[in-house]
Amino acid sequence: MPTNREVGILLVESDESDVKAVQKAFRKLKRVNPVTVAKDGIEGWAALQGMKRPFLILLDVSLPRMDGLELLRMIRHDEKLHDTIVFVLTNSTNEKDKIEAYNLNVAGYMRKSETGTSFIRAIEMVEQYRKVIEFPDDN
């Protein structure tokens, strides 16, 4: 039976309006914990170093300084983070981005334009996922 223990969320997103839309969607779903926000891959990597497990990542592909796929490669090559659950939430229409993301074992690849302006469908799916899966203990 799944536990309902706290699962943190790291949102790596450079567009402030998208950040606000994701936060609004979580509020609508009555998720009370704060979502940690990083503006690019470098900030995302730094945030991951201090986050307590378990957590999920919502990652945009198109980011300044360090893009999302570069951050994802770093996560997958890190001994402590390699099994992190990552969902891509992006505007990228590049098929190569989608293929590379799945090759790097993302849990899902969602286009922002297809989720609607409120992000509610995508965030609802992520929230349901968080509620029903079992996360390993942080050792």
Work out the average pLDDT over 50-76.
Answer: 93
C-beta of residue 31 within 8 angstroms of C-beta of residue 25: no
Q: Is 80 inside any structural domain? A: yes
Classify the C-alpha dihedral 74-51-102-27 as positive or negative: negative
C-beta of residue 31 within 8 angstroms of C-beta of residue 59: no
Q: Is 1 inside any structural domain? A: no
Cis, bond preceding 54 (omega within 30 deg of 0):
yes
Q: Domain range for residue 62? A: 8-132
Domain count, the chain: 1
pTM, rounded to two decimals: 0.84
List the single range of 58-62, 79-83, 89-93, 124-128 with lowest mean pLDDT: 124-128
Classify the C-alpha dihedral 91-83-78-50 as positive or negative: positive
